[in-house]
Amino acid sequence: MAAAREAGKRLAIEGNIAVGKSTFVRVLRKAFPEWSMISEPVSKWQKVQAAGPHQASPSQSFANLLQMMYQEPLRWSYTFQTYSCLSRLKAQLEPLSVKPLKMWDHVRVFERSIYSDRYVFAKNLFEIGHLAEIEWAIYQDWHTFLQQAFGEQLDIHGFLYLRAPPEICMERLRQRGRPEEKEVQLRYLEQLHTQHEHWLMEKSTEIHSENIRNAPVLLLDVTKDFEDDTNEQGRLMSQVKTFIK
């Protein structure tokens, strides 16, 4: 897998809601302790500071933007998608706190990327009518602009695509019981599954950046629950090891 020498390698874990990305990050952490793992800031979206010290009232109030989006998608999808992409952008641009000795060899793994934000979630929300045409146009405009402005800094050198049937993701979603997601329907997970397939497998989604379009994809079948299964974890980690070489 090619990568800029000074920048090291950057990988992104992708896959449907509740497929097991956070669990996968924990397994990767154990298998590759020298790598940097950057988790998804879901808790940030659940507690957005909506009023602060700059305002007349000194009392701070917080909003659960994830819940707002699921409860009133027409009103809040665009706001959620801008904020989710902004927090991801900050994470992708964040310099490493400790500089590794061999920077060119260092691997950074992100839980999702600004690319699934756009080519899976925002695209799907537009297609199901939760983003207006003008919102989708503006979203794409600034997304493309930021990619051009930050260039290579936003490149991902490989995608680790965790795939399981939407029905399995639905079971895992119900089991973990995140309150904001209780109204999520199987249909929605099927749509997101299709968006991932179009983008990463069939390559039929129109991708703005050539580097992202050509980045290699490792397909990892996680239909079998791997959380407590060390054999399954070993099988997945050896695929990652081969991919990264």
Find the shortest distance in angstroms from Cβ 40 to ligand DCP. Answer: 5
Q: Please, how many CA atoms are within 13 Å of residue 229, restricted to the half-sphere of its CB?
A: 10
Beta bridge partners of 72: none
**Residue that the structure tokens 């996680």 belong to:** 222
| By CB under 6 A, residue 87 contacts ligand DCP | no
210-233 burial, b for 16+ CB within 10 Å, e for fewer?
Answer: eebeebeebebebeeebeeeeebb
| By CB under 6 A, residue 20 contacts ligand DCP | yes
Query: Three-state DSSP class for 26?
Result: helix
Find the shortest distance in angstroms from Cβ 240 to ligand DCP. Answer: 16
Nearer to ligand DCP, 3 or 65 (CB): 65
Of the residues 9, 68, 107, 117, which one makes contact with ligand DCP according to CB under 6 A: 117
Of the residues 42, 48, 138, 146, which one makes contact with ligand DCP according to CB under 6 A: 42
Q: Which of residues 64-83 bind ligand DCP (CB under 6 A)?
A: 66, 81
Find the shortest distance in angstroms from Cβ 215 to ligand DCP. Answer: 19
Number of residues that bind ligand DCP (CB under 6 A): 15
Angle between helix 21-31 and helix 230-244 axes, rounded to 10 deg = 70
Of the residues 3, 38, 40, 115, which one makes contact with ligand DCP according to CB under 6 A: 40
| By CB under 6 A, residue 21 contacts ligand DCP | yes
Nearer to ligand DCP, 117 or 155 (CB): 117
Beta bridge partners of 109: 11, 37
Angle between helix 186-196 and helix 166-176 axes, rounded to 10 deg = 130
Query: Three-state DSSP class for 56?
Result: coil
Find the shortest distance in angstroms from Cβ 232 to ligand DCP. Answer: 16
C-beta atoms surrounding 99 within 10 Å:
8
Phi (first) and psi of residue 26, to 5 degrees:
-65, -40
From 111, 171, 180, 190, the catalytic residue: 111
Q: Which of residues 184-243 bind ligand DCP (CB under 6 A)?
A: none
| Residues involved in catalysis | 111
Q: Which residues bind ligand DCP (CB under 6 A)?
A: 17-22, 40, 42, 66, 81, 84, 112, 117, 121, 181
